[in-house]
Amino acid sequence: MSAALPLEQPLPLPQPILEAHGLFKSFGHVVGLNGADIELYPGEVLAIIGDNGAGKSTLVKVLTGALIPEAGTIRLAGQVISFKRPQDARLLGIETVYQTLALAPSLDVATNLYLGREKRRGGPLGSWFRMLDWVAMRRGAKEFLKALGIETIQNISQAVETLSGGQRQAVAVARAAAFGTKVIILDEPTAALGVRESNQVLQLIRDLRSRGLPVILISHNMPQVFALADRVMIMRLGRRVAVVTPGTSSMENAVAIMTGAKQPD
Amino acid sequence: MRVEAGYDSVTALGTPTETAEVLAKPWTLLERVQQVLHSYPALSPTIVLLGACAVFGLLNERFFYPANLSLVTQQVAVVGALAVGQTIIILTAGIDLSVGAIMILAQSVIAQVAFSNKVPGPLALALGLAVGAAAGAVNGALVSRLKLPPFIVTLGTLNIFTAIGLLYSQDQTIQGSNLPDLLNWTGTIVQIGSFRVTTGVVLMLALYAVFSVILSNTAWGRHLYAVGDDAEAARLAGISVNRVLMSAYVVAGIVFAITAWITIGRVGAADPNAATNANLDSITAVVIGGTSLFGGRGVIVGTLLGALTVGVFRNGLSLAGVQNLYQTLAIGVLVIAAVGLDQWIRRVGR
């Protein structure tokens, strides 16, 4: 695991699991990504920081197929890939917790966890009549939540809209953790949370890393980023301006680069 | 005892004890009612229907006669069947103003090919279903591909399909006696105990049963809700929103074509001017049935209850000697009350 490597030496980095180069994406006159690059190595937590409008969420959406870039290449484990829709990224094992969570409020927890990849019943009921296997999905949903230590959600058939903000976030994180096999991306996963709930999500991220899953974390919370990340990528005006390691770089330094007050070394 | 200023500053910050008190505050009766109605969307239309039946039964004992109740179900059959398709579309946060027009178009095709071209009944029916699906596909393509608002799309196609239907049928009514037996089958009387309903009514109820299972027990059904709830969230969660929308309009179109068959049996003829109020009546049934016009919320059984409620109101008020126009007025009040109730129920836990 890269976290255990001595960070002072040049890292003998393996092949990135996910990398993208020269990404461009504009929205009318607004430039979202202006030649952005990213490399994510196996087993690491890579944090992305940047001011509002620096292109963090746009970069994430491009990496997950929610937006299609105008230029640039994306590679997963060395293979060039192009996503047309979010399903394409999901099929390759890239799971995302979006800022908006992307949950269906009126549907229950189990349905939300399996949304878009429902389990069907065995036999002709499933294959011909396409009936859902509720028993298996509810059982699976309980296991996902339990595996992540989420105990606050008692009722798996409760509508998501009846949950608290933290519980909703937990459902979204559980969904990503349950199905992510290659990369997990979290966009502001603690933005709406209280201290205790934030700590739960941070613990979840540590658990994911200890399971060997690489994580991309977007956050505004500097102490959180520096406590958790193996590397911190700083974005400014739609491109990557620096990558720092929390061990060797200070938070002030990162903020100065982020705001443009200081040129990266 | 602390000084007052200290006490104030503590409460201003919101002490743990204060939070605990807020949480521990018992729900009021009204809040409990709101929560229960929110958890069981079919409950409020059930209460309204049972209440209406009780009142009209007291006003006139003839209301509960089997013959009268059978009549209500037959009066409801056409709008009730259309409302199945309407519910599917409204669940996706859409609306279809062209339901009656699609139904008449399908009916014209079924009757004309059977009567003028001597096409056998089953084939005529199949052609009608294909026309219904195609008309739904036109709506679905305009809504999902061109991203036009469903209200505007179906307002346009309401006129287009109505015109095509009238042109094709040359505004001719074809009597049931001139049509193959299969097309009149929906008018056949079925005796259930002392009730006499038509096979059309049974067919309508079967539509509800089938779609009730589909909506709650298939991925497609669940995706309709997810798309209606929040289309962007559904897209990010990996649902092909366009495909779901397209299929919703196509499936609804097929339901409208099945309704055309029910209408031929109900009217005893293929009349291109039958069911002119059906467009808005189907929306009325859905709304009274507790399905939210904002999409993603509601159950199809509620729509059946809503359609029956409208039928019961009209029947009960006319048995009580109330004029036709006052019945319409009462239905209008009922619709607004239903939407108001829906808004109130939706505010739970917000």
In order of start, what are the domains of chain A with their CATH numbers? 14-107+164-259 (3.40.50.300)
Closest CA relative to residue A163, chosen from A193, A136, A124, A186:
A193
Query: B244 to chain A: nearest residue by CA?
Result: A116
SS3 content of chain A, % helix, strand, coil (to 5): 35, 25, 40
The verdict on B41 touching A (C-beta cutoff 8 Å) is: no
Check residue A13 and give its pLDDT: 64
Residue A78 backbone dihedrals phi, psi, to 5 degrees: 90, -20
Check residue B3 and give its pLDDT: 40
The verdict on B240 touching A (C-beta cutoff 8 Å) is: yes
> How far are the Cα atoms of B29, B213, B316 from residue B283, in angstroms, in the given order?
31, 21, 21
The alpha-carbon radius of gyration of chain B (Å, integer) is: 24
The CATH code that applies to domain B41-344 is 1.10.3470
Closest CA relative to residue A3, chosen from A35, A45, A40, A37:
A45
What would the pLDDT profile of B276-290 be if each residue is shown by its tens digit? 788 888 999 999 998
Check residue B240 and give its pLDDT: 93
What would the pLDDT profile of B160-190 be if each residue is shown by its tens digit? 999 999 999 998 899 989 999 999 999 999 8
Above 0.90 for ipTM, yes or no? Answer: no
The model's confidence at residue B4, banded by pLDDT at 50, 70 and 90, is very low
Q: Please check the confidence at residue B70 and state whether its pLDDT lies above 90.
A: yes
The model's confidence at residue B144, banded by pLDDT at 50, 70 and 90, is very high
Sort out which chain A residues have CB atoms less than 8 A from B27's CB and list them.
none
Q: Please check the confidence at residue B19 and state whether its pLDDT lies above 50.
A: no
137-166 in chain A: CB under 8 A from chain B: 161-162
Letter for the amino acid at B350? R
In sequence order, the β-bridge partners of residue A94 are A183
Check residue A218 and give its pLDDT: 93
The verdict on A92 touching B (C-beta cutoff 8 Å) is: no
Rounded to whole angstroms, how far apart are CA atoms B286 and B173?
A: 30
Check residue A1 and give its pLDDT: 43
Sort out which chain A residues have CB atoms less than 8 A from B238's CB and list them.
85-87, 90, 115-117
Q: Please check the confidence at residue B22 and state whether its pLDDT lies above 50.
A: no
The model's confidence at residue B228, banded by pLDDT at 50, 70 and 90, is very high
Interface test mutation site (partner A, options B218, B236, B293, B350, max chain A beta carbons within 10 A): B236
Q: Please check the confidence at residue B261 and state whether its pLDDT lies above 70.
A: yes
The more confident residue out of B14 and B254 is B254
The verdict on B235 touching A (C-beta cutoff 8 Å) is: yes
The verdict on A120 touching B (C-beta cutoff 8 Å) is: yes
Gap between the terminal Cα atoms of chain A:
27
DSSP character for A108?
Answer: B
Q: What is the mean pLDDT of chain B?
A: 88
Check residue B25 and give its pLDDT: 63
CB pairs under 8 A between A and B: 74
Give the residues of chain A that fall short of pLDDT 50.
1-3, 5-7
What would the pLDDT profile of B291-316 be if each residue is shown by its tens digit? 988 899 899 999 999 999 999 998 99
The verdict on A125 touching B (C-beta cutoff 8 Å) is: no
User: CB of A222 within 8 A of CB of A49?
Assistant: yes
Gap between the terminal Cα atoms of chain B:
38
Q: Please check the confidence at residue B136 and state whether its pLDDT lies above 50.
A: yes
Rounded to whole angstroms, how far apart are CA atoms A124 and B197?
A: 34
The verdict on A90 touching B (C-beta cutoff 8 Å) is: yes
Most distant CA pair in chain B: distance in Å?
98
Check residue B63 and give its pLDDT: 93
The more confident residue out of B224 and B338 is B224
Sign (positive/negative) of CA torsion B165, B167, B169, B173? positive
DSSP B226-278: HHHH-HHHHHHTT--HHHHHHHHHHHHHHHHHHHHHHHHHHHTEE-TTTTTTH
